[in-house]
Amino acid sequence: MNRTVLSLLLVAAGVVLLIFGFSASDSFASEVKEAFDGTPTDKSIWLLVGGVLCCVAGGATLLLRRPAT
Protein backbone atom coordinates (compact mmCIF):
# COMPACT_ATOMS: atom_id res chain seq x y z
CA MET A 1 0.00 0.00 0.00
CA ASN A 2 1.20 3.46 -0.80
CA ARG A 3 2.76 5.45 2.06
CA THR A 4 0.59 8.48 1.25
CA VAL A 5 -2.59 6.43 1.63
CA LEU A 6 -1.42 5.08 4.98
CA SER A 7 -0.57 8.59 6.16
CA LEU A 8 -3.98 9.88 5.18
CA LEU A 9 -5.63 6.95 6.95
CA LEU A 10 -3.65 7.74 10.10
CA VAL A 11 -4.74 11.38 9.98
CA ALA A 12 -8.37 10.36 9.39
CA ALA A 13 -8.25 7.87 12.27
CA GLY A 14 -6.75 10.57 14.48
CA VAL A 15 -9.55 12.98 13.64
CA VAL A 16 -12.15 10.31 14.42
CA LEU A 17 -10.46 9.53 17.75
CA LEU A 18 -10.34 13.23 18.61
CA ILE A 19 -14.05 13.60 17.87
CA PHE A 20 -14.86 10.60 20.08
CA GLY A 21 -12.53 11.94 22.78
CA PHE A 22 -14.18 15.36 22.85
CA SER A 23 -17.58 13.68 22.89
CA ALA A 24 -16.54 11.42 25.77
CA SER A 25 -15.16 14.35 27.76
CA ASP A 26 -18.53 16.09 27.52
CA SER A 27 -20.45 13.02 28.72
CA PHE A 28 -22.33 12.92 31.99
CA ALA A 29 -19.93 10.39 33.56
CA SER A 30 -16.92 12.49 32.68
CA GLU A 31 -18.49 15.65 34.09
CA VAL A 32 -19.39 13.90 37.35
CA LYS A 33 -15.87 12.52 37.72
CA GLU A 34 -14.42 15.91 36.83
CA ALA A 35 -16.56 17.55 39.53
CA PHE A 36 -15.04 15.28 42.19
CA ASP A 37 -11.52 14.63 40.91
CA GLY A 38 -10.89 17.58 38.65
CA THR A 39 -9.95 15.31 35.74
CA PRO A 40 -12.03 13.76 32.95
CA THR A 41 -12.43 9.98 32.60
CA ASP A 42 -9.52 7.80 31.52
CA LYS A 43 -11.39 6.77 28.36
CA SER A 44 -11.68 10.34 27.13
CA ILE A 45 -8.03 11.05 27.92
CA TRP A 46 -6.85 7.95 26.02
CA LEU A 47 -9.05 8.80 23.04
CA LEU A 48 -7.64 12.32 22.90
CA VAL A 49 -4.03 11.16 23.30
CA GLY A 50 -4.48 8.48 20.65
CA GLY A 51 -6.06 10.99 18.28
CA VAL A 52 -3.23 13.45 18.69
CA LEU A 53 -0.60 10.75 18.21
CA CYS A 54 -2.28 9.44 15.04
CA CYS A 55 -2.60 12.95 13.60
CA VAL A 56 1.02 13.78 14.38
CA ALA A 57 2.33 10.49 12.99
CA GLY A 58 0.24 10.74 9.83
CA GLY A 59 1.06 14.40 9.29
CA ALA A 60 4.77 13.88 9.88
CA THR A 61 4.80 11.00 7.44
CA LEU A 62 3.04 13.13 4.85
CA LEU A 63 5.34 16.10 5.30
CA LEU A 64 8.65 14.28 5.77
CA ARG A 65 8.43 11.68 3.06
CA ARG A 66 11.47 10.85 0.97
CA PRO A 67 11.58 11.97 -2.65
CA ALA A 68 10.72 9.29 -5.19
CA THR A 69 13.75 7.67 -6.73
Predicted local confidence at residue 69, as pLDDT: 59
Predicted local confidence at residue 47, as pLDDT: 94
Specify if 29 maps to a domain.
yes
Instruction: Quote the number of domains for the chain.
Output: 1
DSSP letters for 3-47 = HHHHHHHHHHHHHHHHHHHHHHHTSHHHHHHHHHHSS--HHHHHH
Per-residue pLDDT tens over the stretch 29-69: 888 888 888 888 888 899 999 999 999 999 999 888 766 65
Predicted local confidence at residue 15, as pLDDT: 97
Specify if 55 maps to a domain.
yes
Specify if 37 maps to a domain.
yes
Domain that residue 50 falls in = 3-63
